[in-house]
Structure 1
Amino acid sequence: MFSGSFLNANDQSDAIAEVGQIYSRGLLPQLIAFTLYYPMQRFLKAQNIINPMAIIVVAVLLFHILISWLAVFVLDFGLLGASITLSISWWVLVLSTCLYIILSPSCRATWTDLSVKAFTDICLFFKLTVSSTIMLILEIWHVQGFVLITGYLLNPEISLNVISICVRIVNELEAAYPRVAKFAVLVMVTTNLILSLIISVLVLILRTLLSKLYTNNH
């Protein structure tokens, strides 16, 4: 809510502070949605209910693409519209996942209803939550810190674009070699896909061995 003042206090330009303030205000509802979704995600993962969760995520992603296009390009809501649609999509994800947990037969044995028993040993749960929260905050700040640092550079917009895509691609475009830049993008995407497939196959093959690393039950 006060990101504009925070950015100004860190010697960021007025233009960056203004758009940062607008965008961050639209993301405020997303914070609550993320807080609600994270426990539900863990609840489903603990039961190995992966496919339904993945289907819900893909459906929400397609929904988000649609409403983002409508908000930004059709209704011309600009930056605020882009951030608000992200919050809306997160709340759709939360509601969809919640309905699945309540209505799905897969969760009938594990989800009965709200109960005061959920607050049993809440102090122990709170200790685990604090450490997990700190790790998550540091992970997010690690990424956002680079974005914040770019504001101190001579041309922050170009610097941020470099971080967002690739230094190699930017260099080729500046040298007026669009075909080489296109080839660099193709190589990068192909390499990422191949590595992702290899790692996924290895995880599937070694899933039994890897699972033993996280439990004492053999």
Structure 2
Amino acid sequence: MAVALDSENDEETGALVVEVKGAKQIDEEEEEVDDAPVVRNGGEAWGVFLGESNRLWAIGAPIAFNIICLYGTNSTTQMFVGHLGNLQLSAVAIGLSVVSNFSFGFLLGMGSALETLCGQAFGAGHVAMLGVYMQRSWIILLTSSLLLSPLYVFATPILKLLGQEDDVAAEAGAFTLRILPQMFALAVNFPTQKFLQAQSKVAVLAWIGFVALVVHVGLLGLFVFVFHWGLGGAAAAYNMSSWLMSIAQVIYVVGWCKDGWTGLSWSAFKELWAFVKLSLASAVMLCLEIWYMMVLVVLTGHLNNAEIAVDSISICMNINGWEGMLFIGLNAAISVRVSNELGSGRPRATMHAVIVVVAQSLAFGLLAMAFILAFRSHFSIIFTSDKELQKAVANLAHLLAVTMVLNSIQPVISGVAVGGGWQALVAYINLGSYYIFGLPLGFILGYMFNWGVQGIWAGMLCGTSMQTIILLYVVWKTDWKAEAAQALERVRLWGGQEEIKLPTQSS
């Protein structure tokens, strides 16, 4: 009996083991089916490329259009003010490009933390947490705006300290103080924008941006030319159109995003320090990139024949900036794709999205490079009729061409970093590549070797190349399964859930 009983127990245990193994195998099969399929041949690779391209551009194109509308708000303000006089134009240009651009970059970087958290929470199916994350970001960005306010209040002495002439600094300081409300509009705008991007609700951003730009142009014409309010009228139009865009986005969120917005919550005040750390890392990462190219113009201004040097660099940076609009859209799109797929627990789909966006970005960069080299002696005619300046721009065309290739890959890799939550790592990479290696090298080549503007730019391009290579290596060595697990853990910890399960269906 004892032996028979043992046999029965063994049989039951064996059956249980088989059952457990079978259940585990089914779970693994379900997880495998849920993720993107393995690519086995060229036809399947092409299918993945087309499908992922459609998803990327469906997100990226409206975002790029929205960014162009924001860029157009600054440009049209300068266009209208330019008819008031050279002093007023200089004042507005300095106010927008120095003080306002500084706060814009910092707040945009702080808001970029929301791309990581909202995208991963949405992918994990915790849509209700998006509203809480957005409120946390509002709190942090509004507080940051208060801390940045002295830059606007004391803009005149700051600009004088930087070497601006007294009359220009005074006029620019007065204009900058008047556009202080616009900074607080950005503190509301950016978190709301990231909230919508995480859910791929980007068409509304494009429409709101377009309407705000049209209203802005109308207000500028009314205040500047009809009411003759001068710089005060331009500042009023700038503030009103910025707040129009922010309020319209909030209205859309509250009225039409019932899944993500469940009302104001005290939970927004929890885990603030962890949120602040990620936001600061995002801000440092972005600002180190923005300031790097600004330093190029500053260093160039101290060369012999500085006017030609600065003007030639400015023309090249303008051309590069328009290409950058496209890659800002792709940056946001890949950030959404990576964060959504990691939050969904789909590492292979994440890898496919990264490969496709890098391949497309490189193709666009090479196409832009070919265009610049083919028309190197002609494209500057759009900006100037001065033969000496046209020749100076043509001499820089090869550096502009290389820059456009590097700047096609670098932004999308940064988008991957934001989607994966690697902001702190990228900030360290940017600091080392740009400011410890590239900037000193540019200074040495430009001043010590007397290579001028080409030496400064070439040295700084070496820094950009180092940063791009390091980031590509990081992406190549990334364990996407581990990143997906980390994303789910981040959602659990910052969302306040005790337990979170891997989704079994694609988002």
Q: TM-score, normalised by structure 1?
A: 0.68
- Where does the alignment leave 5 or more consecutive residues of structure 2 unmatched? 1-152, 320-378, 391-403, 413-418, 421-474, 485-505
Amino acid paired to 1:163: S
Residue 163 of structure 2: aligned partner: 11
Deviation at 1:72, TM superposition (A): 1.8
1:148-174 per-residue CA deviation (whole Å, 9 max, x = no partner) reads: 779879998xx6798366893388523
Q: Which residue of 1 aligns with 2:143?
A: none
How far has the Cα of 1:36 moved from its partner?
Answer: 1.1
Q: What's 1:82 paired with?
A: 234
- Which residue of 107, 111, 115 corresponds with 2:265? 115
CA distance in 2, matches of 1:73, 1:136: 37
Residue 12 of structure 1 contacts residue 151 of structure 1 at CA under 8 Å; is this kept in 2? no
1:133 aligns with 2:283: yes
Whole-angstrom CA distance in 2 between matches of 1:149 and 1:74? 41
Q: 2:281 corresponds to which letter in structure 1?
A: S
Report the residue type matching 1:174 in the other structure. Answer: D
Query: Taking structure 1 as reference, are residues 96 and 170 closer, same or farther at Cα in structure 2, changes over 3 Å only?
Result: closer
Alpha-carbon offset, residue 47 of structure 1:
0.7
Of structures 1 and 2, the larger Rg is shown by 2
> Residue in 2 aligned with 1:163?
314
Q: Sort the Cα spacing of 1:147 and 1:60 in 2 relative to 1 into closer, same or farther, 3 A.
A: farther
1:126-164 Cα shifts (integer Å, max 9, x gaps): 1111112223444554566577779879998xx679836
How many aligned positions are there? 185
Q: Contact conserved, 2:224 with 2:234, CA < 8 A, in 1? A: yes
Q: Which residue pairs with 1:25 in the alignment?
A: 177
CA contact (8 A) 1:33 1:91 kept: yes
The amino acid that maps onto 1:117 is S
CA drift at 1:37: 0.9
Q: 1:66 to 1:143 in 2, by over 3 A?
A: farther
Does the 8 A contact of 1:13 with 1:151 survive in 2?
no
Aligned to 2:331: none
Name the counterpart of 1:39: 191
| C-alpha distance in 2 between matches for 1:169 and 1:76 | 34
Structure 1 stretches of 4+ with a deviation exceeding 3 A read 135-156, 159-162, 164-167, 169-172, 211-218
Q: Tell whether 2:269 aligns with 1:57.
A: no
> Percent identity of the aligned residues?
29
CA offset digits 1:96-145 (Å, max 9, x no partner): 111100111xx111111011112232221111111122234445545665
Contact persistence 2:297–2:313 (CA under 8 A)? no
Question: Cα RMSD between the aligned structures?
Answer: 3.8
Q: Which has the higher contact order (CA 8 A, sep 6+)?
A: 2
